Amino acid sequence: MATRSRPSVFEVPKAENYEASRLQSESNFPLGYLGALTKDALHSSLTWIQSERGKLLKEATRHGAVLFRSFGLQGAQDFDALIGALGIENFPYKKSLSNAVRVNFTERVFSANEAPSSVKIYLHHEMAQTPFYPTWILFFCEQAAEQGGATPICRSDILYESLYQEHEDFLQELEAKGLKYTNVMPDSDDPHSGMGRSWQSTLGVETKDEAEARLKELDYSWLWQQDSCLRCTTPLLPAVRTLRDGRKTLFNQLIAAYAGWSDDRNDPSKAIRLGDNSKLNAEAVNRMIELAYESSFDMEWQNGDAVLIDNTVVMHGRRPFEGKRRVLASLGDMQSHWQGLKN
C-alpha cells in the first residue's frame, strides 16, 4: 500500500441519489482530505493543519465544509488539539443561548446533542435563532452508530438560488421582515428533548429576577408559565445573510423551528413568525424544506472523522439512529447580529 507523507484531497463518496447538479461547478461539497499514512499520523496531521490553517478556513467558506479522514484522531483530547491547530477562537457552549442539552468534555469540546436516538434534528444554522452565533462548527465522530445517525449538511447559498426560482416573493419578504422565534424553556434540563436546555443554563442565571434582567438586556419578551417554565420570544433577527463574496444564504432556524421544535412544552406552529408577527407562507416553507433535503449531503460517519463547517454557509442536522453513537462538537468565533450586545 502506498504511503502518504502528507494529507491529500480525496473524493468523498456520494450516494447514488445525491443531486450534485445543484452545486456550483467550482465547488466540492464537502471537500475531503485523507491524512498522512505515517507512524506518527496524529502529530504529522496536526502539524500540517497548523501550517495550512488559513487555506483550510478559506476552503470551508468556499465549499461549505471540509472533512478530515484518517488523521489519527481517537478522542476528545485529539479533537481539541485539531481545533487548536486551526487557530479558531473558542466560543464556550455555556455562553451560548442554544436550546440543546450538551455535556462538556474539554473547555471547547462537548456532545453534539443529548436528545434520544429516535429524535430527528432538522436542518439549521447553529444559533441563528439567537443574537449570538458561531462562524465555525466542528464535529468529530468518536463512535459511529450501528445504523443511521448520518449528519445531513446543506449549502444554504445553493438552497437560496433554488428557492428563488420558485418563490422569489417569499425570499424578498424574509429579507425585508426578518424572523422572530418563540420557545418554552424548562425549569430543569430535559434530556428527552432536542431543545430541553433549562432557562437557568441557557441564560447563565440562577433566579427568575436574574433571568428577567438577562432577557431585558437581550431585548427578548417573555412570560413565566405556571410550572416555572419560561416562554420567551426573540427580537427581530435576520433571515437572509449576504456573504463577503456576494452570495446570499438562508441564514436562519426556519426549517428546524417550523418542522422540529416539538416537545411537551413547544408547538412548532407557534415557534416562528415574520418580523411583523405575521405567519409564514406555508407552501413556500414546505418547498424550502423539500429542496433543502433534496440537496443535502449525508455525512456517513467513520470513526475518527472530523469536519469543519462554515456555519454561515451550511446548515446541519441529525438522522435518527440505532446503537451507540458518540459525535462531539465545538463552536468557534462568536459573532452577534448587531454591535453593542453584551455577551
Which residue is listed with cell 422569489? 168
The residues, any chain, with a CB within 8 Å of residue 310's CB and separated by 6 or more, are: 60, 61, 64, 65, 135, 136
pLDDT at 14: 73
Question: Mind listing the pLDDT tens digit for each residue in 34-84?
Answer: 987 677 888 889 999 999 999 999 999 999 999 999 999 999 999 999 999
pLDDT at 10: 84
Percentage of the chain beyond pLDDT 90 is 80
Decide: pTM greater than 0.85: yes
Cα–Cα nearest to 5, from 58, 64, 55, 47:
47
Grid cell locating 199: 432557562
pLDDT at 17: 54
Which residue is listed with cell 421544535? 261
| Average pLDDT over every residue of 304-321 | 97
The mean pLDDT value of the chain amounts to: 91
pLDDT at 27: 67
Question: Mind listing the pLDDT tens digit for each residue in 105-146?
Answer: 999 999 987 788 998 999 999 999 999 999 999 999 999 999
Question: Mind listing the pLDDT tens digit for each residue in 92-109?
Answer: 998 999 888 888 999 999
